[in-house]
Amino acid sequence: MSNLTIGFSGILIMLVLMGLRVPIALALGGVSIIGLTLIRGPQAAFSIFSELPMEFGANWTLTAIPMFLLMGAIAFHSGMTSSLFEAARLWLGRLPGGLAVATNFASAGFAAASGSSLATCAAMGRLGIPEMLKRGYDPALASGSVAAAGTLGVLIPPSIIFVIYGWYSQTSIGKLLIAGIVPGLLTALAYGALIIAICVIWPRMAPRSEEQFTWTQKFAILLEIWPIPLLVLGVVGTIYGGIATATEAAAIGAALTAVIAAFRGQLGIGTIIISVRETLVSTAVIFFIAIGAMLFTRFLAFAGIAGFLTGYIGNLELNPITIILSIGLLYLILGCFLDSLGVLMLTLPVILPVFKVMELDPIWAGVILIKFLEIGLFTPPLGMNVFVVKGVVGNAVPLPTIFKGALWFLAAEVVVMTLLIAFPDLITFLPSLVDV
């Protein structure tokens, strides 16, 4: 059996294992070790398996992951983010579909503190969906808007996915984080515009609010959410100003979050314990998957898969846009069955060599890939954000109804993706101003 046959067989077996719900890390690692044994022998496979986890875990760049996770956990459990929805409601509530629009932009703010799509989805689902249902909003719009808006956690910095992509592709993580700002805000604006358009065309979807708020009330609520802009400035500002690397900015963000929570009298021992526990568990899960992906990369390298595919695609003489759209279709299909981190770690060993052959800007390509991952978070049958929303609302909204509402937002994503592909400067302009 040739090495290429072993490699492609390993990919097929791994996909079958994932379809059987075997944990991603075990599927990646198990197939890789067996494949390496067949190609290089048991001694070489054991040597790689014994050395690679230490080599991975000792990577200084990856310390940004637990720091960003800790930052988000402290911000959430200390109550810093609890007023975001109320602030958005006071300022945006009188728009058509005002509460859904408010939830959308509150999600953008929460994403800037947490860096996690699932956390954003869960938090905004608890705050926004009951309020919208109580006021007569269509259940599909109420739940679907939260499932879609939760994806902003992938794009708006800090983003754990950008850290993983940057480390793996050897691309500046600081530039990647900054590159996500414009696409993230553009996505939030597109979602908001879509909600307003839906509610103008079908007013029954969201009864207009008759509540009146004074300017005093509107500005008073802004005083309660001041930590969030400060955290964003602390992370993005230090990177953009050349004061800190992305890893150092992550530590600054975590420390600043703790200081603000202590200043507000919200950093009790209980908050510290639960935040550290969540950070440790999430970091372990991410690292476990990443180590499996690294083993899989070595397996594919020894099997010659990457070289075979890059040569094959190079001979086809396809243009970069066709390549990107094809990869996007692959991501949407895989996103139906796997979470975003699993899709990323599964595909990077194959697609990064293709990007190099096509001479694509790794920052632009990275943001486009993350956008495709984002869309997969709310597409059936396994849109992770949809299931998070279902867990929050319980029996109040059926699962098909949540999917129906979330799929409306594909129209906004088509517009955003068209703009990002047609005008690459929307992604690359801000990073080009930074030397990190």
pLDDT for 43 beyond 80: yes
pLDDT of residue 429: 92
Domain ranges of the chain: 60-283+304-432
Model pLDDT for residues 351-401, shown as the tens digit of each residue: 888 788 778 899 999 999 889 888 887 877 667 788 788 887 888 888 889
Q: Where are the alpha helices (DSSP H) in 202-334?
A: 215-222, 227-232, 238-240, 246-263, 269-303, 305-316, 320-334
| Rg over CA atoms, the chain | 22
Please, are residues 149 and 191 in contact by the beta-carbon 8 Å criterion? yes
Model pLDDT for residues 227-278, shown as the tens digit of each residue: 888 887 888 888 877 788 878 888 898 899 899 999 988 888 999 999 999 8
Cα 118 to Cα 126: distance, rounded to the nearest angstrom: 12
pLDDT of residue 186: 94
pLDDT of residue 392: 78
- The two three-digit tokens of residue 110, written as one number: 């929460």
Mean pLDDT, rounded, for 48-72: 80
Q: What is the pTM of this model?
A: 0.81
pLDDT of residue 317: 65
pLDDT of residue 336: 62
Please, are residues 201 and 134 in contact by the beta-carbon 8 Å criterion? no
CA atoms within 13 A on the CB side of 188: 24
pLDDT of residue 292: 82
* Cis bond before residue 424 (omega within 30° of 0): no
The DSSP secondary structure of 383-414, one letter per residue, reads: -HHHHHHHHHHGGGS-HHHHHHHHHTTHHHHH
pLDDT of residue 277: 92
CB-based contacts of 292, cutoff 8 Å, min separation 6: 24, 25, 26, 27, 28, 29, 32, 345
Cα 384 to Cα 84: distance, rounded to the nearest angstrom: 23
Mean pLDDT of all residues in the chain? 83
pLDDT of residue 185: 92
pLDDT of residue 249: 85
pLDDT of residue 423: 93
DSSP H or E stretch at residue 247: helix 246-263
Residue type for position 322? T
Mean pLDDT, rounded, for 305-332: 73
Model pLDDT for residues 417-430, shown as the tens digit of each residue: 999 999 999 999 99
Percent of the chain scored above 70 by pLDDT? 95
pLDDT for 129 beyond 90: no
pLDDT of residue 382: 64
Separation in Å, CA 332 to CA 26, 184, 325, 381:
23, 19, 10, 11
Q: Which of 125, 171, 8, 208 minimizes the C-alpha distance to 386? A: 125
Confidence of residue 139 (pLDDT cuts 50, 70, 90): very high
Mean pLDDT, rounded, for 173-202: 92
Separation in Å, CA 188 to CA 181, 185, 200, 233, 241:
11, 5, 18, 19, 25
pLDDT for 90 beyond 90: no
Model pLDDT for residues 1-24, shown as the tens digit of each residue: 788 888 888 888 877 887 777 877
Model pLDDT for residues 146-181, shown as the tens digit of each residue: 889 888 878 888 788 888 899 888 898 889 989 999
pLDDT of residue 419: 94
Higher pLDDT: 184 or 347? It is: 184
Cα 12 to Cα 346: distance, rounded to the nearest angstrom: 12
pLDDT of residue 296: 81
Confidence of residue 92 (pLDDT cuts 50, 70, 90): confident
